[in-house]
Amino acid sequence: MEKRCGCLALLIGCFYVNAVLSHDVTVATCNLWNVMFNWSVRKYRIAQMINDAKPDVVAFQEVRFHADRGGNQIMELQELLPDYKWRLFQEANEVHKPKGAHWPGWEKEGIGILSRRPITLFSKHTLPPVPGPDTNSRVLILAKVFITPHISVQVGALHLSYDRRQQCGNTKSVIELIRGRDQESSPEHLRSVILGDFNTYNDFDWPVKLFTSPNQKTLSECHIQDIKFLGAKGKAPWSDVWEMVGHPSSGRTFSNMPTPGYESRPDRILATSNFKTHGVHLLGNGTFYKTQYHQRIVMYRFSTLLHSSYLSWYGVTGYPCYQDCGPRGYCRCGVCVRGDNSIGKTCNLPDCDECSSRVFINTVIFVILNIFTVIHLFYAVICLLISGADFKGEAVFAILGCNCCLCNPDNFKFVNFNSRKFRIFRGLQKWPPFRLPPYILFFMSMISVISLITVGWWNFEPSLDTIYSIMDEEYFPSDHLMVVAKLEITEST
């Protein structure tokens, strides 16, 4: 009996270690695509994706910053994500604006982190420059994220160079920096996750292999001569979470263009061997975004075009878009328009016909006339209801089956508001159109509304065509999908 109790106690103890001392942490990485294509709309979908996935830590790349105002895209996302109270970001480079661009702000770009869990320690590093065509600085953020009083996770956020050889140099520097940070932590509690855009090519994944399986061939392919680099590896290397779950081909995240579509896997999550992967998935496919956010996209393009017409009227000149529209589109009036980017289609302010100063003046006149007409229509409807309120239905109307107040014959006559409670209406009737019989004023107002809509559609047709010529890739919250991984860590490791 005592032996059975001892076995039972052992089983309960094992269950306690696995159930109580095991902890899950969810991490994600997302390329924000800077301010391409309606950032003011896209950020709501990105925030929704984060709320759906509920990662404890999410890393961002291509984060834009305001040099003078001090704001950035991470701060805007944090306003939509109140659970994420900890943030880190690091500027890396000045943004090269399109030639002739007049727009202010978003002058710098970098990376960042948002976390639901406390960040107890962090450091920011500028990676040593590596000779090559990529002149951009590359940075690394290392953050110690609190899990329990005895467990912390070291998170690294990065965005490697687009040049292959420079990627290798960036990777070597990152590994050396993390190893140096490792020495500050107790080995038994050390856990490391690396999140970011590795700019990995399908035919050149050696920079990632420096993390996951460093060997002499890896050094040779990366043109790294430092043999001591392998000997100093120390702890077990990282693993790609997609490979840990067994189907890395499912992790393709770039690009959102219809052709060639998602063909590569630059966005990676790497974890040390003391993590167990319980699931990896992608978020950000354009189907949901296109369905749920189409009207917001249209309204944002409309407001952008209207603002561009105001700038044309005000005398501002220059390139109006926040980005280069690429080979599948061209810039007009601050928005990218679907079509071949041939010479002559892109226009600078104030030379765009769809948002010229004339369009701004016509818009102002059109809005004033519509407000004027709607007021008369509203007044006519009120008069129809008031004058017919006591109508009981005369015999002829009753025979015809028309007993409602709108059939009151007095609606075809001038309404004389004699009662004191209608003194406001008596004052309004000093305006000649308000002295017309309600039905006549109603039909005149309706005809005016229809006429204004017809004339407006004809007058603003080029502007409307520009607004609705939305590029296919504009229906995605980013040109990269977001990668989310659920990892298990155990205190007994």
Percent of the chain residues topping a pLDDT of 90: 45
pLDDT value for 417: 63
- Per-residue pLDDT band for 166 (boundaries 50, 70, 90) equals very high
pTM score = 0.84
286: tokens are: 């354009």
Percent of the chain residues topping a pLDDT of 70: 82
- Does residue 128 carry a pLDDT above 60? yes
Residue pLDDT, tens place only, 396-417: 444 444 555 555 666 666 666 6
- Per-residue pLDDT band for 380 (boundaries 50, 70, 90) equals confident
Across the beta sheet with 276-283, the strand order is 86-94, 108-115, 57-65, 22-31, 482-490, 276-283
Average pLDDT of the chain, as a whole number: 83
Give the H/E segment covering residue 255.
Answer: none
Amino acid occupying residue 425: F
pLDDT value for 390: 57
Through-space distance between the first and last CA atoms of the chain, rounded to whole angstroms? 33
Q: What does the chain come to in residues?
A: 493
Overall average pLDDT of the 344-363 stretch:
88
Give the H/E segment covering residue 405.
Answer: none
- List, as one string, the DSSP characters of 277-293: EEEEEEE--HHHHHHHH
Radius of gyration of the chain (CA): 32
- Does residue 123 carry a pLDDT above 80? yes
- Does residue 446 carry a pLDDT above 70? yes
Residue pLDDT, tens place only, 21-56: 568 899 999 999 999 899 999 999 999 999 999 999
Residue 199, phi-psi category: left (phi > 0), alpha (psi -120 to 50), beta (remainder): left
437 vs 174 pLDDT, higher one: 174
195 vs 391 pLDDT, higher one: 195
Residue pLDDT, tens place only, 266-310: 999 999 888 999 999 999 988 899 999 999 999 999 999 999 999
Q: What residue ranges define each of the domains in the chain, with the CATH number in brackets?
A: 12-285+477-490 (3.60.10.10), 292-358+469-474 (no CATH), 365-467 (no CATH)
Residue with tokens 């004809």: 458
Alpha-carbon distance 299 to 305, whole Å?
A: 10
Residue pLDDT, tens place only, 81-108: 999 999 999 999 988 877 778 777 888 9
- Does residue 162 carry a pLDDT above 90? yes
**Residues 250 and 262: beta-carbon distance below 8 Å:** no
> 95, 156, 152, 86: which is closest to 125 by C-alpha?
156
Which of 223-236 are b and which e, b meaning 16 or more Cβ less than 10 Å from the residue's Cβ? ebeeeebeeeeeee
